[in-house]
Amino acid sequence: NLLLIDLDLPDGEALACIAHCKKRYPDMAIMVMGSDLATEITSKAVSLGVYGFLLKPFQPQLILVTNSNTLRLHRNDLQEQFTTRIQEREIAIRTRKLDEQLHFFQTLLDTIPVPIYYKDRQCTYLGINRAFEQVFHLRREEVVGKSTFDVHPANIAADLHDKDLQLLRTGGSQIYERVRGYKEGIPKTALIHKATFNDSQGAVAGFVGIGIDISELKQVEASLRQSEQTLRTIIDNVQIGILLID
């Protein structure tokens, strides 16, 4: 469909007509004619989506040429709009699916009762789980996007950062124990297990870390060692022979 509007209509009625038709019939091509196209009203007509122009007076054959060009430009524009809408819809669908996957991933992490975190190659926190928040008394927004030095005291952060850099250089995994404080005079010991992950090109992109509180296990080990030492002392000082048989 094509609509021809005369820009010489009085009191700006031509622009009002163009705006009304574009709103009511967005798929219709519009062509205008006028005695002087080098005017402000012509510029406004272009901004409203006019595709063809005829300068009065004009030859009949010029109408056919301008009509053909107008319809061609309008058809190309509709095709581009259609393609854009399809792309926007596909992007919206993919974005929604990605949001759902991220929500599931975060929910999965939050159900694990030990602190978990993951960082990028710059050792910046990308995410944490709820257990991390509870252990370190920090909200997620206080950690994500921050460095180790932003989250931990300087004396602790320096050692953690050095180990992070070592892991990123070598790749693979890293396991070590760390005393992270005392509670009622008893050291709180955590077993730290970290492993790198790769990007789509196979390069190391960051690492995931998990901390398991093994304080009670360390206390049991210490008690067993003390009991073993006490038993050995007793055996070594007894005045009778003792033979242990399994």
pLDDT at position 243 is 63
Task: Using pLDDT thresholds of 50, 70 and 90, give the confidence band for residue 244.
Answer: low
Is the alpha carbon torsion for 202, 206, 207, 208 positive or negative? Answer: negative
pLDDT over 80 at 143, yes or no = yes
Task: Using pLDDT thresholds of 50, 70 and 90, give the confidence band for residue 147.
Answer: very high
10-34 pLDDT, tens per residue?
A: 776 888 888 888 888 777 788 887 7
Helices (H), the chain: 13-24, 40-47, 60-111, 130-136, 148-151, 154-170, 215-237
Q: What are phi and psi of 115, to 5 degrees?
A: -60, 130
Distance between CA 176 and CA 244 in Å, rounded? Answer: 37
Strands 52-55 and 29-34: parallel
